[in-house]
């Protein structure tokens, strides 16, 4: 046996050596291998019909059946290395080619393409099968670049990578033409079926199984990861890194998706113009969005809860939104309705409308134009602003600032820890304000300011409240603690509410005992009034510096009441009306009041004029010395208000004693230019008048007593 094998080895060596010597430094092995060589040298041709048509071409190495079968002259093709069944079969004119694999580069330079210049490496069964030209390209893998025809500087590594075909090169040798033929340049595809459908696309980089699988005419795309950008067909300038990132994008441009399944459903609807310029970073970031542009989503599971695929504008798709934070999400309000111009930052921060801003973990902004800032801030009213941990706004155009602050009413403003605008009675109060720790408002247009201040009545302002009453200082830094309001200043004063007499009278109809002490200024009568719980009481006009007078503006009135026959009306309810007229008995009424009372057993009734229910005027303002005055007396003997006049008489002396009150208010200015003796004389005359008045009153009292005694008898 050893002798038999040794014989075969010797025979092979002798045969090989003989062919080498006869072919001028060429090595050929196989039937008709290098059979046409005339002057070419330094060729190694092994395999049946390997390089069989070479005449003058040199420096080639062919290994396999019909490798380099068509190659001929050195002027068009030399320095090539082909290994594999029919590798480089149709090469006519290119140099420095390396084809290794079953029918690798089978059709290369079939038409003697003038642009073909060499430096092409094809490794794998059917690799570059259809290639007819292209410089500096490398195809490695079974059927890598199978349908590629033209294009320079392409690198495809992987099974069927780079326009790879699924047709078996073992069943056909027909050159493919038409739409399936690829011609792009500067592409790099690494991975099984990476850039599989490439036609004219250029400058694409795909790394991973089926990365950029469907890219046809798209350019400048980068996809790294299994199935990254798998559906991109015409898209441009996209970057997708991560398993299945941007998997559904067909026509989108300028997108950047980084993270496994980031932007997974982007452009699922294959719209051609509204899935561009999106940036998603994180696992499944932006996973669900199908239509929309200019969105930024950062964070694992940060996503859209809608597909944004109901249309092509406005809120019909998601646009110009920013979501940052793990599980941050945006819901346009429906399964397919989009939202625009949203900014949400924070873990699980959520938006549910357009034009909103949310900042903070668990922040939830649910209405258009809302702003929520703070941990778990909840804003559900349109055009509302909430700032603070656990802030809660339920209604529109409200503002809540402070931890745990709550605004449940439209137009409410709350500021402070626990400050609230609430609606316990479901009355929907609006436009109220609460400022301070735990301050609360419940009334329309009401304001509560201060620690725990509460305003529950409409159109009111509460400062401090019952629990923490405040001392208000105006013009001072240290208000008196025993004063509710301390006004300080040398160039300002306190201006009371000013009403006309008619307005004051109308206001009286709304007042009661609880308003006792209220004060206003009557601009018609130029005097102050206070409410005594039942009626307005005027304050006297005082001059001088001595203060208020102690002399009352009152007059006693007593009379006996009789019927038309002259009989005394005993124990009878009667009504009286007193009118003071100026100048004459029928002159202008300057003051009028009413009284009601009950007669005595003798028919007597007594009233104090000046203390009744005022109908008009002010008795304290009558200048008794400036004119003559008359008293009209009217009576309703039934106690009603159907008055009958009893006559009018002139005031003679009694009311004029009231002028003596002004003597108490004499100030130093009265002495200027006056003779003290004259003043003394005037006072002496007044004293005599008063004494005379007292005597007259004593006489009147005496006569009245005699009358009463006769009546008793």
Is the distance from CB of 156 to CB of 194 less than 8 angstroms?
Answer: yes
Residue 686 has pLDDT above 70, yes or no: no
Rg of the chain over CA atoms, in angstroms? 56
Nearest-10 Cα torsion for 196, 200, 204, 210:
-10
Q: Judge whether 540 and 620 are in contact, CB under 8 Å.
A: yes
**Distance between CA atoms of 223 and 211, rounded to whole angstroms?**
6
Q: How confident is the model at residue 399 (pLDDT cuts 50, 70, 90)?
A: very high
Q: What percent of the chain has pLDDT over 90?
A: 52
Residue that the structure tokens 């909103």 belong to: 356
The three-class DSSP label of residue 501 is: helix
Answer for the pair 61, 42: CB distance below 8 angstroms, yes or no.
Answer: no
Query: Reduced to 3 states, what is the DSSP secondary structure of residue 554?
Result: coil
Structure tokens at 306: 């809608």
Model pLDDT, residue 151: 81
Distances (CA, A) of 518 to 514, 522, 535, 538, 680: 9, 13, 11, 12, 42
Which range has the worst mean pLDDT, 151-155, 461-465, 681-685?
A: 681-685
Q: Pairing between strand 155-157 and 188-190?
A: parallel
> Has residue 696 got a pLDDT over 80?
no
Q: 426 or 511: which carries more pLDDT confidence?
A: 511
pLDDT band of residue 548 (cuts 50, 70, 90) is very low
Predicted local distance difference test score (pLDDT) of residue 175:
75
Average pLDDT for 329-334: 76
Contacts of 183 (CB under 8 A, 6+ apart): 148, 149, 150, 151, 199, 200
pLDDT tens track for 78-102: 889 999 999 989 887 678 889 999 9
Cβ atoms of residues 439 and 421 within 8 Å = no
Mean predicted confidence (pLDDT) in 205-220: 95
> Where are the strands (E) in 181-317, listed by range?
188-190, 205-207, 222-224, 239-241, 256-258, 279-281, 292-293, 296-298, 303-304
Nearest one of 685, 596, 582, 681 to 625, comparing CA atoms: 582
Per-residue pLDDT at 691: 59
Give buried/exposed letters for 173-210 (b at 16+ CB in 10 A, else e): eeebeeeebbbbbbbbbbbbbbbbbbbbbbbbbbbbbb
Which phi-psi region, left, alpha or beta, contains residue 141 (left: φ > 0; alpha: ψ -120 to 50)?
Answer: left
| pLDDT computed for residue 561 by the predictor | 87
Residue 461, pLDDT > 80, answer yes
- Say how far residue 133 (Cα) sits from the centre of its chain: 60
Work out the average pLDDT over 173-177.
Answer: 74
Report the pLDDT value the prediction gives residue 712, as an integer from 0 to 100.
60
Give me the residues paired with residue 44 across strands: 27, 61
Burial tier of 288 (Cβ tally within 10 Å: 0-12, 13-18, 19+): buried
**In this predicted structure, which of 16-20, 364-368, 689-693 has the lowest mean pLDDT?**
16-20
pLDDT (tens digit per residue) in 656-670: 455 444 434 433 333
How far apart, in whole angstroms, are the C-alpha atoms of residue 436 and residue 413?
Answer: 11
Instruction: Give the pLDDT score at 1.
Output: 44
Contact call for residues 462 and 455 (beta carbons, < 8 A): yes
**Tens digits of residue pLDDT in 335-353:** 567 889 999 999 999 999 9
Q: Which residues contact 449 (CB under 8 A, 6 or more apart)?
A: 433, 434, 435, 436, 439, 461, 462, 463, 464
Q: How confident is the model at residue 22 (pLDDT cuts 50, 70, 90)?
A: very low
Distance CA(683)–CA(662), nearest Å, equals 12
Model confidence at 290, in pLDDT bands (50, 70, 90)?
Answer: confident
Note the residue count of the chain. 713
3-class state of residue 541 by DSSP? coil
* Residue 698 in this model has a pLDDT that exceeds 80: no
Calculate mean pLDDT across residues 383-408: 95
User: Token digits for 556?
Assistant: 């006693």
Q: How far apart are CA 410 and CA 444, in angstroms?
A: 10
What is the separation of C-alpha 420 from the centre of its chain, rounded to a whole number of angstroms?
A: 20
Nearest to 342 by CA among 376, 397, 379, 312: 379
Report yes or no: 193 and 158 within 8 Å, Cβ to Cβ.
yes
546-553: average pLDDT = 49
What gap in Å lies between CA 147 and CA 145, rounded to an integer? 6
Q: What is the mean pLDDT of the chain?
A: 83
Provide the β-strand partners of residue 95. Answer: 78
Strands of 519-522's sheet in order across: 498-499, 519-522, 527-531, 536-538
Measure the CA–CA gap between 484 and 450, rounded to whole angstroms. 14
Give the per-residue pLDDT at 180: 62
**Are 123 and 141 spatial neighbours (Cβ–Cβ below 8 Å)?**
yes
Helices (H) and strands (E) in the chain, counts: 3, 50
Separation CA 78–CA 58 (nearest Å): 5
Q: Which has the closest alpha carbon to 689: 607, 619, 625? A: 625
CA dist 167 and 507 (Å) reads 100
pLDDT (average), residues 550-564: 77
510 phi and psi angles, rounded to 5 deg: -105, 0
How far is Cα 362 from Cα 376, in angstroms, rounded to an integer? 4
Q: Are 141 and 177 in contact (CB under 8 A)?
A: no
Flag the least confident range among 454-458, 505-509, 522-526, 566-570.
566-570
Please provide the DSSP assignment of 187-223 as one string: -EEESTTTTTT-SS-BS-EEESTTTTTT-SS-BS-EE
Exposed/middle/buried for residue 446 (C-beta within 10 Å: 0-12, 13-18, 19+) = buried
pLDDT at 87: 92
User: pLDDT tens, 592-641?
Assistant: 999 999 999 888 899 989 888 999 999 888 888 788 999 999 999 989 99
Closest CA to 389 of 410, 409, 359, 412: 359
Q: How far apart are CA 431 and CA 444, in angstroms?
A: 6
Q: Which of 74-83, 192-201, 424-433, 608-617 has the lowest mean pLDDT?
A: 74-83
pLDDT exceeds cutoff 90 at 651 = no
Q: Place 273 in a pLDDT band, splitting at 50, 70 and 90.
A: confident
Round to the nearest angstrom and report the end-to-end CA distance of the chain: 184
Nearest to 446 by CA among 473, 423, 418: 423
pLDDT band at 484 (very low <50, low <70, confident <90, very high): confident
- Distance (Å) of CA 361 to CA 326, 345, 365: 9, 8, 12
């Amino acid at each position: 046996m050893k002798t038999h094998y040794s014989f075969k080895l010797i025979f092979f060596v002798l045969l090989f050596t003989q062919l080498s010597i006869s072919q001028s430094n060429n090595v050929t092995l196989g039937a008709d291998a290098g059979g046409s060589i005339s002057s070419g040298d330094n060729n190694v041709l092994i395999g049946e019909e390997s390089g069989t048509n070479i005449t003058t071409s040199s420096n080639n190495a062919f290994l396999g059946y019909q490798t380099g079968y068509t190659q001929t002259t050195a002027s068009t093709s030399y320095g090539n290395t082909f290994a594999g069944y029919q590798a480089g079969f149709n090469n006519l004119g290119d140099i420095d080619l390396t084809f290794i694999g079953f029918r690798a580069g089978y059709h290369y330079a079939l038409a003697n393409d003038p642009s073909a210049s060499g430096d092409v490496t094809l490794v794998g069964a059917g690799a570059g099968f259809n290639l007819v030209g292209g410089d500096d390209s490398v195809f490695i893998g079974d059927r890598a670049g199978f349908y590629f025809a033209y294009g320079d500087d392409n690198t495809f590594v992987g099974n069927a990578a780079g326009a790879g075909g699924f047709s078996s090169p073992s069943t056909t040798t027909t050159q493919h033409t038409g739409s399936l033929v690829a011609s792009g340049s500067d592409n790099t595809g690494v991975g099984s079926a990476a850039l599989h459908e490439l036609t004219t696309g250029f400058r694409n980089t795909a790394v991973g199984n089926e990365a950029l699988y469907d890219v046809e005419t798209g350019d400048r795309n980068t996809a790294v990861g299994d199935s990254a950008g798998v559906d991109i067909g015409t898209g441009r300038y996209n970057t997708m890194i991560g398993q299945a990132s941007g998997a559904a994008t067909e026509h989108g441009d300028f997108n950047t998706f980084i993270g496994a399944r980031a932007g997974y459903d982007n452009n699922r609807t294959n719209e051609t113009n509204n899935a561009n310029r999106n940036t998603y970073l994180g696992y499944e970031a932006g996973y669900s969005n199908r239509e929309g542009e200019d969105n930024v989503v950062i964070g694992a599971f940060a996503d859209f809860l809608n597909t944004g695929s109901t249309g092509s504008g406005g809120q019909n798709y998601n646009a110009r939104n920013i979501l940052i934070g793990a599980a941050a999400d945006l819901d346009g309000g429906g399964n397919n309705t989009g939202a625009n111009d949203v900014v949400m930052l924070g873990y699980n921060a959520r938006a549910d409308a357009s034009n909103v801003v949310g900042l903070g973990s668990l922040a939830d902004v649910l209405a258009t134009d809302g702003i929520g800032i703070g941990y778990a801030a909840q804003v559900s009213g349109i055009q509302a602003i909430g700032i603070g941990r656990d802030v809660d706004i339920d209604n529109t155009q409200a503002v809540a600032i402070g931890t745990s602050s709550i605004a449940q009413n439209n137009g409410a403003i709350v500021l402070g820890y626990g400050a609230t605008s609430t609606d316990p009675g479901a009355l929907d109060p609006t436009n109220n304000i609460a400022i301070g720790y735990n301050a609360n408002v419940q009334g329309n247009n009401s304001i509560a300011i201060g620690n725990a201040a509460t305003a529950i009545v409409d159109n009111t302002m509460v400062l401090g409240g019952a629990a923490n009453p405040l001392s208000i200082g105006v013009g001072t830094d240290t208000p008196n603690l025993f004063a509710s309001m301390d006004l300080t200043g040398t160039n300002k004063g306190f201006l009371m509410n000013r009403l006309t007499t008619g307005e004051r009278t109308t206001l009286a109809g709304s007042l009661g005992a609880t308003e006792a002490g209220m004060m206003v200024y009557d601009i018609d009568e130029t005097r102050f009034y206070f409410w005594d719980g039942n009626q307005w009481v005027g304050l006297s006009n005082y001059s001088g510096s001595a203060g208020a007078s102690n002399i009352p503006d009152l007059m006693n009135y007593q009379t006996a009441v009789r019927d038309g026959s002259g009989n005394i009306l005993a124990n009878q309810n009667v009504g009286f009306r007193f009118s003071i007229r100026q100048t004459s008995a029928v002159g202008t009424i300057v003051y009028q009041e009413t009284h009601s009372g009950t007669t005595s057993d003798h028919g007597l009734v007594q009233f104090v004029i000046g203390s009744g229910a005022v109908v008009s005027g002010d008795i304290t303002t009558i200048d008794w010395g400036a004119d003559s005055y008359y008293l009209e007396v009217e009576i309703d003997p039934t106690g009603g208000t159907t008055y009958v006049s009893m006559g009018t008489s002139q005031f003679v002396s009694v009311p004029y004693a009231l002028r003596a009150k002004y003597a108490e208010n004499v100030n130093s200015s009265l002495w200027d230019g006056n003779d003290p003796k004259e003043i003394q004389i005037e006072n002496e005359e007044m004293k005599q008048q008063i004494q005379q008045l007292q005597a007259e009153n004593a006489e009147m009292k005496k006569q009245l007593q005699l009358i009463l005694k006769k009546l008793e008898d």
